């Protein structure tokens, strides 16, 4: 079973479902996809900080714990679309892990964001190892220090800058598995597109680079074109769960 965890934020629900759809229709082995929704984890008690642009900014580091510290798990931000079989990515890490000491694999970006805001005016935080944690393959047994207690209390930058792993334990993935749309030039051979500044589901990024790939995936999923409503209908709140 290929275990995939995708960040969930109610404001980007459509992005989550398009990414899941793109994974399912290209993968060639059984896959289990789990949304990282804060409401599902009563043990994740820390409040969302002012610099956290999404609900899953820190909950992503719970993936090894949620996987029982066994096997390999893939984490992805929801603002992505998979254009290749992500099973190949995990298999690459499984092979390297069989003969090395990596605890986690990431695309090791080396860039400075070109904008001060992203995703319709959310603050763009700048730090070293920016976007390394947006796609991670965990070797779960080697990440036992990522406990709920640690994730609840660690400094956010210590989590995102991988203070919990030794440098030699951080494996490298080819950048085409996490291609930063808008930060990098268009790349026709990208395997995972990451709309880190904002995707076509955000009004200001309707015509961003590689918008056509995401829109095509949405069309394949729904059979319809994507036309965001300027005034979406109000959705009644969910009834509270019975105790």
Residue 230 lies in a domain: no
Residue 135 has pLDDT above 60, yes or no: yes
Query: In the Cβ-directed half-sphere of 157, how many Cα atoms lie within 13 Å?
Result: 5
Residue 13 lies in a domain: yes
Calculate the CA 137 to chain-centre distance: 11
Residue 240 lies in a domain: no
Residue 87 lies in a domain: yes
What is the rounded average pLDDT of the residues 171-185?
A: 96
* Owning domain of residue 169: 2-222
Question: With the C-alpha atoms ordered 29, 93, 8, 179, is the resulting torsion angle positive or negative?
Answer: negative
Query: How many domains is the chain partitioned into structurally?
Result: 1
Residue 116 lies in a domain: yes
Model confidence over 24-77: pLDDT tens digits?
Answer: 999 999 999 999 999 999 999 998 887 788 999 999 999 999 999 999 999 999
Residue 233 lies in a domain: no
Q: Of 61, 67, 69, whose CA–CA distance to 32 is shortest? A: 67
Residue 118 has pLDDT above 90, yes or no: no
Whether 129 contacts 158, CB under 8 Å: no
Place 217 in a pLDDT band, splitting at 50, 70 and 90: very high
Residue that has been written with the tokens 């960040």 in this structure: 7
Structure tokens that stand for 236 in this block: 């009644």
**What SS3 state is found at 49?**
coil
Among 34-38, 79-83, 107-111, 184-188, which stretch is predicted with the lowest mean pLDDT? 107-111
Q: Mean pLDDT in the chain?
A: 90
Calculate the CA 175 to chain-centre distance: 15
**What SS3 state is found at 215?**
helix
Write the CATH number for 90.
Answer: 3.90.550.10
- The DSSP-derived string for 188-209 is TT-SEEE-SS--TTSGGGTT-T
Residue 238 lies in a domain: no
Residue 239 lies in a domain: no
Residue 113 has pLDDT above 80, yes or no: no
Place 243 in a pLDDT band, splitting at 50, 70 and 90: very low
Distance, CA of 39 to CA of 56 (rounded, Å) = 11
Structure tokens that stand for 199 in this block: 């995707």
């Amino acid at each position: 079973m290929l275990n995939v965890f995708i960040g969930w934020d109610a404001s980007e629900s459509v992005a989550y479902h398009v990414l899941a759809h793109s994974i399912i229709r290209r993968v060639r082995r059984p896959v289990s996809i789990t949304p990282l929704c804060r409401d599902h984890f009563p043990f994740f008690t820390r409040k969302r900080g002012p610099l956290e642009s999404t609900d899953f900014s820190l909950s992503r580091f719970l993936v090894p714990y949620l996987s029982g510290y066994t096997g390999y798990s893939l984490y992805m931000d929801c603002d992505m679309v998979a254009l290749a079989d992500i099973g190949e990515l995990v298999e690459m890490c499984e092979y390297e892990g069989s003969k090395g000491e990596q605890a986690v694999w990431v695309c090791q970006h080396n860039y400075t964001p070109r904008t001060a805001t992203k995703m319709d005016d959310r603050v763009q935080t700048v730090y070293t190892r920016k976007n390394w944690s947006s796609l991670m393959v965990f070797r779960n047994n080697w990440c036992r220090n990522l406990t709920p207690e640690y994730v609840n209390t660690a400094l956010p930058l210590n989590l995102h800058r991988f203070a919990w792993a030794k440098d030699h334990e951080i494996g490298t993935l080819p950048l085409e598995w996490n291609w930063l749309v808008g930060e990098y030039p268009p790349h026709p051979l990208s395997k995972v597109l990451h709309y880190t500044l904002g995707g076509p589901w955000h009004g200001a990024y309707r015509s961003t680079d590689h918008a056509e790939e995401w829109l095509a995936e949405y069309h394949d999923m729904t059979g319809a074109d994507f036309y965001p409503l300027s005034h979406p209908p109000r959705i009644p709140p969910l009834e509270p769960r019975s105790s």
